[in-house]
Amino acid sequence: MRPEDRPLLVFFTSRRSGPARRMESLLAQIARKERSRLQVRKVDVDERPDLAQRFRVGQVPSLAVVVGKRMVERLEGRVTAPRIEALLEPYLAQEAPGKAATV
């Protein structure tokens, strides 16, 4: 799968948020585990308020799943690894665009 075909998980955080800081290692673990199927990007809402506004982030931490330049799912607040994995599962299981079986 080409990097640009992988779903993107955007982690909205802030240095001022204890719950967000506690989720950082969890997100790093998921990024390592799924590195061939998922892109993970961290966005500090204090440094990039434009992105926070564009994604309508109302709470930190927040997670947004982006597929094909469109946000398809989001989670707000501190969440567990199983909940994040359940959120991602449908998008990680899909075949990459243009990889359909030939007849």
The predicted model scores a pTM of 0.83
The CATH number of domain 3-92, selected from 3.40.50.80, 3.90.1300.10, 3.90.380.10, 3.40.30.10: 3.40.30.10
Residue 71 neighbours by CB under 8 Å, 6+ apart: 55, 64, 65
Calculate Rg over the CA atoms of the chain: 14
30: Cβ contacts below 8 Å, ≥ 6 apart: 9, 38, 40, 81, 84, 85, 88
- pLDDT exceeds 80 at position 94: no
* pLDDT tens digits for range 19-73: 999 999 999 999 999 999 999 999 999 999 999 999 999 899 999 999 988 999 9
* C-alpha span between 87 and 90 (Å, rounded): 7
Q: What is the dihedral of CA 1, 92, 55, 46, to 10 degrees?
A: -80
